[in-house]
Structure 1
Amino acid sequence: MSDSEELARFGYEQSFERRTSRFASFAVAFAFVSIATGIFTTYGSVLNSSGPLGIWTWPIAVVGQLAVAFVLGSLASRIPVTGYAYQWTSRLANPVLGWIIGWISFMFLAVVVVAVDYTVASTVLPVLLDYTASPGITWAVTALILLGQGLLIGTSTRWTEKVNNTAVTAELIGMVLLTVLLLVVAAVRHRMDFDNLFSRGAVPAEGYWSFGDATTAGPWMLGFLLGAFTIVGFESAANLAEETNDPERVVPRAMWQAVLASGVLGFLFLVAVTLAAGDPVALAQSGTPIADVIRVTLGGVVSTLLLLLVVLAIFACGLVIMMTGTRLTWAMSRDERFPGWSHWKRISPRFGTPLRATVFYVVLAEVILGLFSAFSEDALFTLFGAATLLPAVIYAATVGLYLVKRRSLPANGKFDLGRWEIPVLVVAVVWLVFELALFRDAAFADAWLYVVVLLVIGAVYLGALLVTRGRGALALPEARSIDAELDRKAHA
């Protein structure tokens, strides 16, 4: 059975060309995770909240997210439809819950692209080009980056994937080389300090291992934000399911392989940087601690190359996030359940892309950027907080639903957890409960406020939709439950 015929079983016609290859699917998942982006952005925060010792939370976060990736991969293999979490929960549970998860996913994608691109303008380009990043300049540069990504996505999926594939290849090679060079040069120059790996830096020893209280998380717990912020978005490969060849097999593998590759390479890089960090207390005061370590250890030229690599990686990360967001907007609009759906569901006959959905997404991102820049004194932290909280909520809801419905999901022969299902689910659930507990810290109050405001907006629209059109407005094509759909598929 062809991929188009498989898609028809879910009530949809083929709208995109299937050009996404195995590597391109992996590159989408890896670029969203983007260890260069995540580590460069959050390493300094970990030094201040948990000290260098905080890097040891990374392997635990990777194991937890890998378990989540396996669970989501099982769903992606069974429901290879653009819209990922929105489609999964709509068909596993009901369209109302699916819409809510879809809206939360949309909120996440809308804010995280701004957070990622804001990083380039506020912390990377000022160092690379040696200028002062005033609020006005930072806003303008971020706005231009968003516009450039939107132009590329709106006019050519093929070139978007080419740019992303090139960036991911460069990031993989660059991170491996940087890790090896740091370890070798630091050893030769006797700059390695193994005590750094177990140092708390300036964080007091008293209460370090505390779980905190109702409104605060202990210092060691905050170290998990390094992995929680970085190892997310791997499921973005599933949002290109209708553009991927053999998505039932390719997409799940792309997801877990991206997490594993990012986790192993990222941890080795963290160890190398921390060994060569010198005085971690002094380093914690820097706005660009990773670049400082590279510059001191390997020299200015390599430091400049690192910054160029980070710029490329962050641009690709934002590019994939925006592409994922436009596909989700298009998927929900195709089902006539997104504000302004009649405009966003159209595929451009000239470019073969959801051009109008892309324009809408870029405009919304620019509005979010303006609001955060105008009203938040610490816009970057607020953006990162929301961009870390939202995927945790999405993952928890999806994994919880899988846990309830797993017995009714038939095997598809392409990606199944088999006898490992229960252990994987236990790890995923424990990790997600722990991760959500981190966000009780008062520092995330603004992030929660963002979530509440957009949930209220979504609830108002959902209520209006149900009042004016009834529950039928949320019916999926052919109104079949996923159990009936998959049972029919299993016996076809």
Structure 2
Amino acid sequence: MTHSSTPPPERIPSKGVSQGTYTDTLERSTGRFASFAVAFAFVSIATGIFTTYGSVLKSSGPLGIWTWPIVIVGQLAVALLLGALAARIPVTGYAYQWVSRLANPILGWITGWISFTFLAIVAVAVDYTVAATVVPALFDFTGTALTSFLITAAILLLQGLLVAVSTKWTERVNNFAVSAELIGMVALVVLLFIVGVFTHKLSAGNLFSRGDIPAEGYWNFGTATAAGPWMLGFLLGAFTIVGFESAANLAEETKRPEVVVPRAMWQAVLASGVLGFLFLLVVTAAVNDPTALAESGTPIADVIRDILGSFVGTALLILVAIAIFACGLVIVMSGVRLTWAMSRDQRFPGWQALHKVSPRTKTPLNATIAMTTISAVILGVFSTSTDALFILFSAATLLPAVIYAITVALYIAKRRQLPQSAAFSLGRWEIPIIVVAVAWLVFALSLFRDASFRQPWLYVLVMVAIGAVYLGYLLITRGRDGLKMPELRSIDTELDQVSGARGVAEDVPQ
């Protein structure tokens, strides 16, 4: 079918687990920019580049930045495939909902649990960055494990309070932060280029330098337990360009989600990719000593200060702090929505309380408390480790790759059975996009064979084991039939049914 000029209804009931429909209890008020801002804030190039640039200089040298365009192409392909699913299954819970319907409720539950595991730890990872690097640099003090723990806990609490109190204000704060990040990053690229050219501080040779990384074996794929030096550079983009699907986790709160959500996802990846690469090029060209810079806790800020002065360098740190706060805020909100969605299906521990929406705030208040508390516990577990930041970021890079691989594999297997959607279709580009996405995900997962990811893999296995225990409990108490999910349905059919139902209701005499 094709959409008429009449806008679709604001509320779209989705087929439910046992009753026939979900009760649409969340307000549908999220617009196009807010949806894009959610996806863009989660990706947050300011957060990702600021956090991992030094690691890339150590592992791959400045030449490692050229892995970024490849990551963008791969992740854009993944975003387009996930967008095709989001247009057809616009229900809060994203990968959990998609896999439950494409495969079966058991694999769907596992994917949902892995997604929750990712969101719980990445919230800590990004907030920990503010505490461990940004705040000490801003206020010129040496951070400790205790100060990092306390600052991170305070940020988590503030984010949790905002998400609990008001979705509208959460989106307003995020919209402001994303606008500031977009304007700030563009301004930095322009200023760095202009001032760098006039002061002769830009060197094109830096863009093709290995730093102090030996030439021998630099381009190798690596061994069974170690990735090659240049290959490790892919982690810069692999950590940064993730979370774009968070826009789909607010599908039931988004106006025209079948149109808005897929667009928000691929636009966030493309915008982040282009702007992020321009920033990487100009920053790397401005590096004076790559080897010395790699040892800094704030290498990006050091380069900015050298070219633009201490005032702009400090302004950058403030911008990064705002971007990281917004990133963590969106992650907490996305984790809350996933917890609420699984609880609504009676499939999350403590669902009896977590599926409720507060009549006063119109938010999943109990789910927000649970999400914030669990992230705080994870923070407590990792806060005593001297390598806490690396472990957190490594796990936060590994988990989305696993989630994307599961979802894309199922899309490939079930794509001919998917309901049609006039709002978003890949058309003749579907097969090329699938080829690119599969090649990228296979390569990305191969990077995590490196021995440095042993602890992140251990974390994943522990969390999966915890989830397996609860899944076993669900199967024993309810049986396989007790976990059934609704069939796949076309969003266009849903819209027609809602329009028809409203038309009938309007014709009934009062």
Q: Return closer, same or farther for 1:254/1:486 CA change in 2, 3 Å cut-off.
A: closer
Q: Structure 1 5/34 Cα, relative in aligned 2: closer, same or farther at 3 Å?
A: closer
State whether residues 420 and 490 of structure 2, in contact with CA within 8 Å, keep that contact through their aligned partners in structure 1: no
Give the equivalent residue in structure 2 for 1:300. Answer: 310
Displacement after TM superposition at 1:491 (Å): 9.2
Q: Where does 1:269-280 land on structure 2 (aligned, <5 Å)?
A: 269-280=279-290
Aligned counterpart, 1:369: 379
Aligned to 1:381: 390
Tell me if 1:417 matches 2:426. yes
Which of 55, 61, 64 does residue 74 from structure 2 map onto? Answer: 64
Alignment of structure 1 residues 96-107 onto 2, 5 Å:
96-107=106-117
TM-score by length of 1: 0.97
Distance in structure 2 (CA, Å) of the matches to 1:351 and 1:101:
29
Partner of 2:56: 46
Shift of 1:481: 2.4
Match of 1:207 in 2: 217
1:155-170 to 2 correspondences below 5 Å: 155-170=165-180
**Aligned partners of 2:12 and 2:495 also within 8 Å:** no
Q: Which residue is 1:135 aligned to?
A: 145
Evaluate the alpha carbon distance shift between residue 196 and residue 406 of structure 1 in structure 2; reply closer, same or farther with a 3 A threshold.
same
Offset of residue 3 of structure 1: 4.5
Percent identical: 68
Greater CA deviation, 452-461 or 281-290?
281-290
Q: Distance in 2 between matches of 1:48 and 1:151?
A: 38
Q: How far apart are the structure 1 equivalents of 2:203 and 2:492? A: 59
The answer to whether structure 1 residue 243 and structure 2 residue 253 are counterparts is yes
Q: CA deviation at 1:284?
A: 1.1
Deviation per CA, 1:170-201: give whole Å up to 9, x if none.
00000000000001101000001111000000
Q: How far 1:17 sits from its partner (Å)?
A: 0.8
Q: 1:485 to 1:70 in 2, by over 3 A?
A: closer
Matches within 5 A, 1:72-471: 72-374=82-384, 376-471=385-480
Which amino acid in 1 is paired with 2:438?
V
Post-superposition shift, 1:410? 3.1
Provide the rounded CA distance (Å) in 2 between the counterparts of 1:393 and 1:11: 30
1:4 equivalent to 2:14? Answer no
| Structure 1 residues 97 and 3: alpha-carbon distance in aligned structure 2, compared to 1, 3 A threshold | farther
**Which amino acid in the other structure matches residue 2 of structure 1?**
P
TM-superposed deviation, 1:94: 0.6
C-alpha separation in 2, matches of 1:396 and 1:305: 38
What's the offset of the Cα at 1:281? Answer: 1.3
Taking a change above 3 Å as real, the CA distance of residues 442 and 189 of structure 1, as seen in their structure-2 partners, is same
- How far is 1:485 from its partner? 6.3
Scaled by the length of structure 2, what TM-score is found? 0.94
Give the counterpart letter for 2:476 in structure 1: V
Secondary structure of the residue that 2:195 maps to in structure 1?
helix
Q: Deviations over 1:300-349 (max 9, x none)?
A: 00000000000000000000000000000000000000000011000000
Residues of 2 paired with 1:89 and 1:3: CA distance?
26
**CA-CA distance at 1:299 after TM superposition:** 0.2
Number of the residue aligned with 1:15: 25
CA contact (8 A) 1:4 1:13 kept: no
Q: 2 CA distance for matches of 1:258 and 1:111?
A: 22
Contact 2:51 2:129 in 1 (8 A): yes
Q: Is the 8 Å Cα contact of residues 217 and 438 (structure 1) preserved in structure 2? A: yes
Give the one of 456, 475, 481 matched to 2:487.
Answer: 481
> Segments of 4+ in structure 1 off by > 3 A?
484-492
Counterparts of 1:488 and 1:77, CA distance in 2: 12
TM-aligned CA deviation for residue 279 of structure 1: 1.4
Quick one: distance in 1 between partners of 2:185 and 2:162?
26
The answer as to whether partners of 2:13 and 2:23 remain within 8 angstroms in 1 is: no
Which residue identity does 1:481 align to in structure 2?
E
Q: Report the CA distance between 1:4 and its aligned residue.
A: 2.5
The separation in 1 between residues aligned to 2:11 and 2:183, in whole angstroms, is: 36
Residue identity in the other structure for 2:253: E
Secondary structure at 1:7's aligned position in 2? coil
Of 1-10 and 126-135, more deviation after overlay is shown by 1-10
Worse-matched range after superposition: 453-462 or 405-414:
405-414
Change beyond 3 A, Cα 1:491–1:141? closer
1: distance between equivalents of 2:331 and 2:454?
24
Greater shift in the superposed pair: 466-475 or 401-410: 466-475
Moved more, 3-12 or 456-465: 3-12
- The one-character-per-residue Cα deviations of 1:122-163 (angstroms, maximum 9, x if unpaired) are 011000011110110110000000000000000000000000
Unaligned runs of 5+ in 2: 1-7, 498-510
Deviating more after overlay: 383-392 vs 10-19: 10-19
AA matched with 1:264: V
Q: Which runs of 5+ in 1 are unaligned?
A: none
The letter for the 2-side match of 1:383 is: L
Q: What SS is found at the alignment partner of 1:104? A: helix
Q: Is residue 211–residue 290 contact of structure 2 (8 Å, CA) maintained in 1?
A: yes
Secondary structure in structure 2 of the residue aligned to 1:377: coil
Structure 1 letter corresponding to 2:337: R
Give the Å deviation of 1:13: 2.0
Q: 1:226 to 1:15 in 2, by over 3 A?
A: same
Query: Per the alignment, do residues 470 and 50 of structure 1 end up closer, same or farther by CA in structure 2, a change over 3 Å counting?
Result: same
Conservation of the 8 A alpha-carbon contact between 1:228 and 1:388: yes
- Report the Cα distance in structure 2 between the residues aligned to 1:115 and 1:350, rounded to whole angstroms: 31
CA distance in structure 2 between the partners assigned to 1:222 and 1:27 by the alignment: 29
Deviation (angstroms), 1:490: 9.9
| 1:385-412 CA distance string (max 9 Å, x none) | 0000000000000000000000111321
Q: Which letter does structure 1 place at the counterpart of 2:76?
A: L
